[in-house]
Amino acid sequence: MARQAAPAAPTTRAAALGGGQHDGRTPEQLCADERPDAIVSNRLAYCVRGVAEYTRLEGNEVKGHAVVGVIISSGIKETPKAAWQETVQVDALHIENMPDGVAIGVSSTCSGICTTEGPAWGGSAVILREAGMGRHDGVLGYSSPVGKGGVAPHIQPSYHIDGKILGAGVPLPPKHDDWPGPSLRCDAQDGLRWPGCIVEGHMADVTIRKSLYGAAAVTYEWAQKNLTNPTNDYGTEERPLHRDATGDTEKKRTVTCDNAPRFVKDNFLVPEDSCDEYPFASSEEGGKPGSMCVDILPQQVGGVWDVANVKVMRGNKATAICVRSHVTETQNEKAGSEVGAATTSARILNREPYQVIIAP
């Protein structure tokens, strides 16, 4: 007789998120997660874990037992199109009194706008005869023929685990079991350069480091910590920004920085001074009139960029819904490039929410 301990799908949002919305772990790190969740994921990777148990009977008496671990993982960001591959590994965790061992095969199907590419190991079974044996080079492939400009949500792989006890005189048929995988979204939306996919249930994020972007990073952090007006959002987890793919970015920058009261650049205060606006003009929350902003001057003290050293130059932070900041043109442009790169790598769709994370 063979019995399968199939993985259960996550039952809470916290479990589905796999440890945080800005979780950047690799598939290998997700698989090493110590929690018991069968599916551990972040926005760009996932790991499905389970065990298969097989019992050899003679008459009604138990004569042998085997426990096989199965791990299926993928880093879907590695393929710049609406296609991805999974790595499949099987390991004999325990085998007792199974003279000829067990044979394990793994195949898959997927629901939604999705096609599969063959079973692992070309349909061959992996033979495991003793504890410690295993094979880690199985591959399962998928692709989504999502049309240009389209979005294909709720694509879900399902795994077929085919286990068979080997040995003459053991009249046991193969045991077939199915496990659920994560839910994915694929798209071919304009502005992201190529089609691609993400794991659903994880908010996108844009990480801006103070060590790389200095005054620009401090500008965004100061806004998140000091602007409380409820009529706008500021890129926190509770009040995320939303991508604006309308193409009006430059027009919105003009409204914020050039319309009255015009932002006054001062190269004595900041060399190559520029107007860095937040929320970003590339977000739906950006593009507010400058009269509704507070103007600030981030300052580096003792080689350290910190919000405590920001000076308010004009406006009232208690009522403002946006920030205009004195930032060098170089830092301004580089931070903007980072936002654009993160939009592509995290596949942030038009009007999709995202969090802005300020890191050291």
Give the DSSP H or E segment for 30: helix 27-31
- Looking up tokens 């994370």 gives 357
> Do residues 101 and 186 share a domain?
yes
- For the segment 90-139, what is each residue's pLDDT rounded down to a tens digit? 999 999 998 899 999 999 999 999 999 989 999 999 999 999 999 999 99
φ, ψ for residue 174, nearest 5 deg = -60, 150
Single pTM value for the model: 0.89
Residue 41 has pLDDT above 90, yes or no: yes
pLDDT of residue 5: 38
CA dihedral 177, 76, 204, 279 (to 10 degrees): -170
For residue 209, the enclosing domain spans 204-359
Q: Do residues 76 and 96 both lie within one domain?
A: yes
Tell which wins on pLDDT, 275 or 192: 275
248 shares a domain with 185: no
Residue 7 in this model has a pLDDT that exceeds 70: no
**DSSP letter assigned to residue 21:** T
Numbers of helices and strands, H then E, in the chain: 5, 22
Domain count, the chain: 2
Half-sphere exposure in the Cβ direction for 40 (13 Å, CA): 23
| pLDDT tens digits, one per residue of 226-283 | 999 999 999 999 999 999 988 899 999 999 999 999 999 999 999 999 999 999 999 9
> Domain boundary residue among 153, 180, 199?
199
User: Residue 139: CB partners within 8 Å, gap ≥ 6?
Assistant: 85, 86, 87, 88, 120
Q: What is the pLDDT of residue 72?
A: 98
Are 85 and 151 members of one domain?
yes
Which of residues 184, 199, 214 is at a domain's end?
199
Do 43 and 116 lie in a common domain?
A: yes
DSSP 8-state symbol, 246? S
Q: What residues does 116 pair with on adjacent strands? A: 142
- In this structure, are 242 and 354 located in the same domain? yes
Domain boundary (164, 199, 234) is at 199
Q: Is 233 within 8 Å of 338 (Cβ atoms)? A: no
Q: Cβ distance 143 to 117 under 8 Å?
A: yes
Q: pLDDT tens digit string along 74-88?
A: 998 656 689 999 999
Domain match, 212 and 283 both: yes
